[in-house]
């Protein structure tokens, strides 16, 4: 990579890292894991940087890599999440359906792909088409995953608790 | 903004300080690039025998000829094209005939090469597998490799200096030029070249840079010298690759290009590159922000040099090897 490319990468990573880190945290719910995710994504971005740099939206590309890194994490046995019947913090609540759960816990209950879809749509403001392209699935899948995710969140957080531009 | 987005933002209220690990990211990225390029070279010419069945290796952005590790010298007819000039990917797949169709179907489903890729049979391996090149539509597929293909023409290039001597000489010269302009150097990245671009142990290009402190803050000045025998280092290519790009033919036949690239909010890289008649290309760059390990904590300055000074760096005949 030329020094110009590397300089541009450093500038990009320096300025956009906070945004990537917040997205990573929303995806995984843990700041340490978020830092690992961002680091992995930025290394991948570095490899592709000469090509990415010439694109109009390197930021969107970087976020796409980040989301894919998050989804790929499940393929690593040592990072694989163990499904449990009820989350610890949900157990702590006497009546989880009656009490308003923390959004973080509710997000954690979503399957990874639904979580990624939800964040792409409502955190990164990606369109259905952009989300489908980023996640490598059809637009119909994005819509159904979004609907399921929103349904689960409403169930956990209360019907009135969530308002999106589409639902309002 | 949606209610959901507001609540996402509230979740971020306990954000801890981010680690300062940009250097390790860049180092890891360099290693990853080297591994990738080494894999590309190994697949394209040494053979695919070491690859397991159905492993697909991205061989290049379009235009990849799969000849990265061929030894020899070819005169460069024109500057290397920008990697953005073409689109699409090509991959090599090694699979046994019975598995090839299924492998291809899986690969197409992965979305890496689109729904209707162009598939070219490259060659058969001794273990019965066939090497296929799969390119996304529009990507320029390379021609099937012929074992007896002619190597690059031209005599081998013999460097008259050891690589470390070249690096030291170029570094000292850049330091001398910059300090003569009255700038304080706060960080020096010694001239070096990526090992993956060695041609039979010889460096194809050298680059190095220095961070400098000027009145308003920190900036950076770098020089990259590329020998005529390589086409591996992309330059700006067409002038429209940069903003405000201007191309001028100088009296000695050299072509001077100047332009700037926005690297981020308020961050600009200005480039002056000279394509000399003997094939050497010198690219001088400056930025209004530093590159060194303390870059994250240093104030950004103005561009450390005038455009005239930057051009004089690119035209400096001592930047050669």
pLDDT digits (tens, 9 = 90+) for B179-210: 999 999 998 888 876 544 444 445 567 778 88
In angstroms, the separation between the Cα of residue A84 and the nearest Cα of chain B is 23
Contact B30 A136 (CB under 8 A): no
Contact A12 B264 (CB under 8 A): yes
Q: Which residue of B has its CA nearest to A6?
A: B26
Question: Distances from the Cα of B172 to the Cαs of A72, B112, B223, B225, in angstroms?
Answer: 46, 46, 12, 14
User: How far apart are the C-alpha atoms of B301 and B220, rounded to whole Å?
Assistant: 9
Cβ distance A65 to A45 under 8 Å? yes
Q: Which residue of A has its CA nearest to B232?
A: A1
Q: How deeply is B146 buried, as exposed, middle or buried, from its count of CB atoms within 10 A (0-12, 13-18, 19+)?
A: exposed
User: How far apart are the C-alpha atoms of B190 and A139, rounded to whole Å?
Assistant: 50
Average pLDDT over residues B91-105: 76
State what percent of residues in chain B have pLDDT above 90.
11
Residue A48 sits at the chain B interface (C-beta within 8 Å)? no
The predicted model scores a pTM of: 0.44
Q: Which of residues 62-91 of A touch B (CB under 8 A)?
A: none
Average pLDDT over residues B136-164: 51
Task: Write out chain B residues lying below 8 Å of A27, CB-based.
Answer: none
Residues whose CB is less than 8 angstroms from the CB of residue B260 and which lie 6 or more positions away in sequence, other chains included: B242, B243, B244, B268, B269, B270, B271
Supply the mean pLDDT for chain B. Answer: 69
Residue B41 has pLDDT above 50, yes or no: yes
Residue pairs spanning A and B at CB distance below 8 A: 140
**A121 or B8, higher pLDDT:** A121
pLDDT of chain A along its 168 residues, tens only? 766 778 778 888 887 888 889 899 988 888 888 888 899 999 999 988 887 776 667 788 888 889 988 887 655 444 434 444 444 444 444 444 344 457 788 888 888 889 999 998 988 888 898 888 888 888 899 999 999 998 888 888 776 556 555 544
Residue B172 has pLDDT above 90, yes or no: yes
What confidence tier does B80 reach under pLDDT thresholds 50, 70, 90? very low
């Amino acid at each position: 990579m030329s020094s110009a490319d590397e300089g541009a990468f450093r500038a990009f990573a320096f300025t956009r890292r906070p945004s990537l880190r917040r997205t990573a945290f929303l995806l995984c719910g843990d700041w340490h894991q978020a830092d690992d995710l961002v680091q992995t994504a930025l290394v991948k971005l570095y490899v592709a940087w000469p090509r990415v740099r010439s694109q109009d939206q390197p930021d969107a590309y970087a976020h796409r890599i980040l989301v894919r890194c998050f989804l790929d994490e499940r393929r690593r046995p040592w990072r694989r999440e163990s499904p449990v019947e009820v989350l610890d913090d949900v157990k702590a609540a006497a009546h989880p359906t009656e009490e308003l759960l923390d959004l973080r816990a509710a997000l954690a209950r979503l399957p990874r792909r639904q979580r990624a879809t939800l964040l792409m749509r409502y955190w990164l403001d990606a369109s259905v088409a952009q989300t489908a392209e980023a996640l490598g699935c059809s637009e119909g899948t994005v819509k159904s995953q979004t609907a399921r995710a929103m349904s689960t969140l409403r169930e956990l957080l209360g019907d009135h608790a969530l308002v999106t531009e589409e639902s309002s | 903004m949606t209610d959901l987005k507001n609540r996402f933002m509230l979740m971020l209220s306990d954000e801890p300080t981010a680690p300062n690990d940009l250097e390790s990211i860049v180092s890891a990225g360099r290693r990853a690039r080297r591994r990738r390029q080494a894999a590309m070279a190994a697949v394209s010419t040494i053979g695919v025998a070491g690859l397991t069945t159905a492993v697909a290796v991205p061989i290049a952005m379009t235009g990849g000829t799969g000849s990265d590790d061929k030894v020899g010298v070819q005169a460069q007819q024109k500057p290397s094209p920008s990697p953005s000039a073409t689109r699409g990917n090509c991959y090599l797949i090694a699979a046994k005939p019975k598995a090839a169709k299924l492998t291809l179907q899986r690969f197409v489903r992965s979305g890496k090469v689109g729904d209707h890729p162009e598939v070219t049979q490259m060659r058969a391996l001794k273990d019965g597998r066939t090497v296929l090149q799969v390119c996304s539509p529009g990507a320029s597929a390379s021609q099937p490799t012929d074992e007896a293909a002619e190597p690059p023409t031209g005599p081998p290039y013999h460097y008259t200096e050891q690589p470390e001597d070249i690096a030291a000489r170029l570094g000292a010269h850049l330091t001398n030029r910059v300090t003569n302009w009255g700038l304080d150097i706060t960080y020096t990245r010694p001239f070096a070249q990526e090992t993956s671009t060695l041609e039979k142990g010889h460096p194809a290009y050298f680059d190095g840079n220095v961070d400098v402190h000027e009145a308003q803050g920190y900036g950076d000045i770098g020089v990259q010298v590329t020998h005529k025998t390589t086409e591996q280092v992309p330059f700006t290519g067409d002038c429209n690759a940069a903003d405000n790009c201007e191309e001028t033919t100088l009296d000695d036949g050299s072509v001077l290009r100047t332009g700037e690239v926005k690297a981020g909010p308020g961050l600009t890289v200005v480039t002056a590159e000279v394509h000399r008649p003997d094939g050497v290309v010198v690219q001088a760059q400056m930025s209004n922000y530093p590159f060194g390990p303390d870059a994250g904590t240093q104030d950004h300055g103005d561009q450390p040099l005038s455009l005239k000074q930057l051009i004089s760096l690119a035209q400096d005949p001592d930047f050669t090897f």
